[in-house]
Amino acid sequence: MRIANLSAEASPFAKTGGLGDIASSLPKALAATGHDVDVWVPFFLEAAEWFRRRGTWPEQEIEPFDVTVMGASHRVSILRSTLPGSTVPVHFVAHDSLFHRPGGLYSRNEHGADDGIWRFSLFVRAALEAMKRMGERPQVLHTHDWHPGLAPMLGAWSSWRDPWFDDVASVLTIHNVGYQGIYGPEQLPVLGLPPETWTGGLVEHGGAINMLKGAIVAADMVTTVSPTYAWEIRTPEGGAGLDGVLRLKASRLTGILNGIDRQEWNPETDPHLPSHYSLEDLRGKLDCRAELCRLANFEPADPAMIVGSVGRLAPQKGYDILLEAAPELIRRGVRIVVLGSGEPALEGSMRLLEAHYPRRFKGFIGYDDALSHKIQAGSDVLAMPSRYEPCGLTQMYALAYGTVPVVRRTGGLADSIIGLHGENLDWATGFHFDDPSPHAFAAEVLHAQNAFFHRDSWSRLMKNGMKADFSWGRSANDYELVYRRAREVRGLPW
């Protein structure tokens, strides 16, 4: 099957979180099963820097052309490369003044305005135009999150859609329903959609443009990144205002747990680690632990348990819960390493904790891929006290690295970690807690600490986790079924 993925992020070129990982690992997994898959992403400054650091540059794929948005022409180029470690083509939509912006992928323009709707609409129009010019019509257009949401909308609502879409089915994957692309109604002309999309409530939600809602309504099939999250987003507590829309779509909504890229996340080959290790020979993990201690300014000979965590410092991730619990945990002998960036208040709390407990708490502020690998390998425990978690990848990386996760039982964390409850040591892979409070989190970390000092139990937990298979195999098959169903829904053969 020919599948074109449209995404704002694709690792390693541009990534702020799991979206970037999946937009690159899923296409690679599907290509490995024989599908003809490619990926379309904006050519962000981050991507340009990635190539510059390597002294290479993607090739120009077709002659630059103009895209018209609100009557004004914008010249775009299409550059081509491949996803590292594969032959999957990546097409970059390049428009320097829109995508070469300092301050991160989703930063505001020079006037401080959020012009995401504008940038991503131009990205979608350019990508679709390029596909037409290249004669590459996909059988399935797979869009990720709200950013390329205009694509399924352009292909839906048959009264006015472009006939090019007649043979193209669309699939939307919601990686996080908390990010919806909400803009004022005055921005509607940017989308170039007819007025009935507004009056009919298709892209309108609560008086504003809601890109994710429009994409949900328009897509032939909607997926999200874990079975539990597929259920949670249909409830008022988990739907972030879109639960009603998602309930209406229930028969075409399914949850597929993300897989992990074992080429990138494998302690036997990981180039970021000082020593390698495997299920059969775990000795190298001790070197990784010693290196992490050196980086964090901890005493390497101290046997105290190390709790690591890597993630965006956003309310969703529950870092306030972790940081509030930290003093009590440190008093009880635990050491904590956090890598993350985001909310200034949380960054400030990390600095304070580090000043108070210099050899027991380390906060690395920033985004650092190599360090994230070192924390996964060097920690004993990986903490994820998320308030909600669509899938979560870091707990799966932790399992692969023999690091035992302590997670809140929500979304994909509930689907991927089997909590130890006393009787299931033979198959448990981590620790669960339910209440999103510092007290409940600390209690579960101390439960883990108790197991940590029983070496046989701990080694069993580590090995159970390392044996768990979260590679893409099964999930890639499930996506294939979704693609077939999307074509069926649209009355198309496959």
Residues of this chain that bind ligand ADP (CB under 6 A): 17-19, 21, 176, 310-312, 339-341, 367-369, 372, 391-394
Nearest distance from C-beta of residue 384 to ligand ADP, angstroms: 8
Q: How far is CA 282 from the centre of its chain?
A: 29
Q: What is the 3-state secondary structure (H, E, C) of 288-342?
A: HHHHHHHHHCCCCCCCCCEEEEEEEECHHHCHHHHHHHHHHHHHCCCEEEEEEEE
CA-atom Rg of the chain in angstroms: 23
The Cα–Cα gap between 149 and 7 comes to: 10
Nearest distance from C-beta of residue 353 to ligand ADP, angstroms: 17
Nearest distance from C-beta of residue 57 to ligand ADP, angstroms: 25
Nearest distance from C-beta of residue 395 to ligand ADP, angstroms: 7
Q: How many CA atoms lie within 13 A of 434 on its CB side?
A: 0
Nearest distance from C-beta of residue 308 to ligand ADP, angstroms: 11
- For the chain, the helix, strand and coil percentages under 3-state DSSP, each to the nearest 5: 40, 20, 40
Sheet containing 59-69: order of strands: 59-69, 72-82, 89-94, 36-42, 2-6, 140-144, 169-174, 221-224, 253-255
Nearest distance from C-beta of residue 229 to ligand ADP, angstroms: 11
Mutual angle of helices 319-331 and 438-452, in 10-degree steps: 50
Nearer to ligand ADP, 158 or 269 (CB): 269
Nearer to ligand ADP, 21 or 270 (CB): 21
Nearer to ligand ADP, 121 or 376 (CB): 376
The Cα–Cα gap between 363 and 347 comes to: 8
Nearest distance from C-beta of residue 337 to ligand ADP, angstroms: 12
Nearest distance from C-beta of residue 379 to ligand ADP, angstroms: 13
Distances 362 to 260, 292, 322 between C-alpha atoms, Å? 27, 10, 13
Nearer to ligand ADP, 61 or 368 (CB): 368
The Cα–Cα gap between 180 and 174 comes to: 10
Nearest distance from C-beta of residue 343 to ligand ADP, angstroms: 12
Nearer to ligand ADP, 78 or 396 (CB): 396
Helix, strand or coil, per DSSP, at residue 19: helix
Nearer to ligand ADP, 76 or 346 (CB): 346
Nearer to ligand ADP, 122 or 381 (CB): 381
CB atoms within 10 A of CB 305: 24
The Cα–Cα gap between 198 and 44 comes to: 31
Nearer to ligand ADP, 372 or 449 (CB): 372
Nearer to ligand ADP, 366 or 493 (CB): 366
The Cα–Cα gap between 45 and 343 comes to: 23
- Phi then psi for 306, rounded to 5 degrees? -110, 120
311 close to 340: Cβ distance less than 8 angstroms:
yes
Nearer to ligand ADP, 340 or 405 (CB): 340
Nearer to ligand ADP, 67 or 326 (CB): 326
Nearest distance from C-beta of residue 86 to ligand ADP, angstroms: 18
Nearest distance from C-beta of residue 317 to ligand ADP, angstroms: 7
Nearest distance from C-beta of residue 276 to ligand ADP, angstroms: 19
Nearer to ligand ADP, 138 or 412 (CB): 412
Per the structure block, which two tokens stand in for 476? Answer: 């890639």
The Cα–Cα gap between 291 and 221 comes to: 46
Q: Which amino acid is at 338?
A: V
Strand residues in 126-277 grouped as ranges (E)? 140-144, 169-174, 182-183, 204-205, 208-210, 221-224, 253-255
